[in-house]
Amino acid sequence: MTSEPRQIRLVMELRAEGVTDAAVLGAIERTPREEFVPPQFRDRAYENTALPIGEGQTISQPLIVGLMTQALQLGPRMKVLEIGTGCGYQAAVLSKLCRRVYSIERHKSLLGETNKRLARLGYHNITAIAGDGMKGWPEQAPFDRIIVTAAASREVPQTFIDQLAPGGILVLPLGTSTSDQHVWRVRKDEEGSVTREKLWAVRFVPLIGGMPESNGRGQANGAG
């Protein structure tokens, strides 16, 4: 696939801002962000900014997608869990760098559109379901890597640590107010001990437990 000039410009901007991993930059360059944004925002798809995707949610800023993906230190044989599928953009980038992505989204309407999009674009190593990501995905655990794309409160949810494989890495935003949120990297060593490091300030939509009322009853959720 030939990259457009605006795609190349975005990748150069991300490199200047700290995304230095060539594989991550390559994955971003090969992911057509204009396919993941609503039609009225297509002309802004390669701006380094978050954009609305419906249901009050956003597609993440490309810089944050790049930095969080880089912080995961992915390998080609890894199994990755993403919480907060949204439009599927982050999952699409991850899918180029690991074996399989499992992703959970609490808004069924977003998930329905996203699954159609991912199938149309040929992303066959992503499995995305509707459910409460706060429960993780116990049937598929453990995961080599977990990424959360909505902000939890101050504490790292124990479910995610439990579902992380020994030697695994979890990257997630923490903080209740948008003026005081940071991305953290949590490592679980081979003995199960956990250490955490604060990476950078961010502004994410909140991680919300439970399903929205508009989803009705009947939870198509393998997540527990």
Shortest spacing between CB 84 and ligand SAM, in angstroms: 3
Which CB, 86 or 168, lies closer to ligand SAM?
86
Shortest spacing between CB 29 and ligand SAM, in angstroms: 16
Which residues neighbour 127 within 8 Å (Cβ) at sequence distance 6 or greater? Answer: 100, 101, 102, 103
Point out the catalytic residue in the list 3, 60, 95, 214. 60
Bridge pairing between strands 57-59 and 51-54: antiparallel
Q: Which residues bind ligand SAM (CB under 6 A)?
A: 57-60, 83-87, 89-90, 104-107, 110, 132-134, 149-150, 204-205, 207-209
Is residue 200 helix, strand or coil? Answer: strand
Residue 52 has a CB neighbour count (10 Å cut-off) of 13
CB 104 within 8 A of CB 91: no
Which CB, 167 or 209, lies closer to ligand SAM?
209
The token pair at 196 is 């955490």
Shortest spacing between CB 198 and ligand SAM, in angstroms: 20
Which CB, 21 or 58, lies closer to ligand SAM?
58
Which CB, 54 or 167, lies closer to ligand SAM?
54
Shortest spacing between CB 66 and ligand SAM, in angstroms: 12
**Catalytic-residue membership of 103:** no
Is residue 16 helix, strand or coil? Answer: helix
d(CA 222, CA 130): 9
| Cross-strand partners of 174 | 152, 182
**Which residue's Cβ has the minimum distance to ligand SAM?**
84
* Helices 62-72 and 22-29, axial angle in degrees (round to 10): 140
Which CB, 195 or 210, lies closer to ligand SAM?
210
| Cross-strand partners of 79 | 100
- Residue 23, phi then psi, degrees to nearest 5: -65, -40
Q: Where in the sequence numbering do the catalytic residues fall? A: 60
